[in-house]
Amino acid sequence: MADTRITDSHCHLDFPDFDGRQAEIVARAGEAGVHRMVTICTRLRSEPAVRAIAEAHAPVFYAAGTHPMSAAEEPMASVADLVALARHPKFVGIGETGLDYHYTADSAAVQKRSLEIHIEAAQETGLPLIIHARDADDDVAAILTEGYRRQPYSCVMHCFSSGAELARIALDLGFYLSMSGIAAFPRSENLREIFAAAPLDRVLVETDSPYLAPPPHRGKRNEPAYTAHTARVGAEVFGLSYADFAAATEANFERLFAKAAAWSEAA
């Protein structure tokens, strides 16, 4: 399986779980066939540290934004801030951003404004928007759709675990759904059905590590190498061999994250 290459499209290598161990984590990912990963900055004040990880490790790219659960605690990003960060050659996406009403519904208004700013930055840079959505499907769908009608942009619904209606709306807009370890949990039959109904050319895989480790590592710290376990489940969902599913998700990643694909080719 390690001979087949896949990409972890969303992880958090700057989180304390990985302190001082990034080189080991990246090496172990490579041994599992995970030849590339995108590490996500969730607070812009952490961007220098996240950028440094991407600069230090050839397989690592990065994105930055303000996570919706932090939107009320952090200074409001500006479009200019995000556009300036996007000039870095390994900066490949805007976010993660979005809406989360599970624990932080009281900051909904601030989250919405932050999301709108990130959409504008994605439109201006041409980089894909990276969306976190939890318990906010209707508002996420409305804001993403309204922004797309103003000016089209590309987008991935990261760690997708929302309902079928949000999946339909996102896919209708040309967006992508990313499969995390949640899709591999035994009780996630409904989520696997949503992915099975999606076009194969709109599916990515990720870990969201250090969270949401798939079986057989569930309940433990997740890491990019474990993308392979989720991809194996994805292959079953689509009735494909692991190699064919991996090839499809690689093509999808390179289509959406074209800047990462171009950097890899240049390197």
Tell me how far apart the alpha carbons of residues 204 and 5 are, in angstroms, rounded to a whole number. 13
Residue type (1 letter), 142? A
10 is in an annotated binding site: yes
208 is in an annotated binding site: yes
If you count them, how many residues does the chain have? 267
Tell me how far apart the alpha carbons of residues 247 and 213 are, in angstroms, rounded to a whole number. 22
User: For 141-218, where are the E strands, in sequence order?
Assistant: 155-157, 176-179, 203-205
pLDDT at 267: 64
229 is in an annotated binding site: no
Domain ranges of the chain: 6-266
pLDDT at 260: 97
Tell me how far apart the alpha carbons of residues 156 and 180 are, in angstroms, rounded to a whole number. 12
Low-confidence ranges of the chain (pLDDT < 70): 1-2, 267
3-state secondary structure of 93: strand
Tell me how far apart the alpha carbons of residues 157 and 14 are, in angstroms, rounded to a whole number. 21
Write out pLDDT tens, residues 204-262: 999 999 999 999 999 999 999 999 999 999 999 999 999 999 999 999 999 999 999 99
158 is in an annotated binding site: yes
User: For the chain, where are the E strands, in sequence order?
Assistant: 6-11, 34-41, 60-64, 91-100, 129-134, 155-157, 176-179, 203-205
**ω into residue 216 within 30 of 0, thus cis?**
yes
Tell me how far apart the alpha carbons of residues 62 and 129 are, in angstroms, rounded to a whole number. 13
CATH class assigned to 6-266: alpha beta
Are the beta carbons of 261 and 249 closer than 8 angstroms? no
Model confidence, pTM = 0.97
- ∠ Cα 176 63 107 (to 5°): 80
Are the beta carbons of 260 and 37 closer than 8 angstroms? no
Q: How far from 165 is each of 35, 99, 137, 157, 197, CA to CA, in Å?
A: 33, 16, 8, 13, 12
Retrieve residue 156's tokens.
């991935």
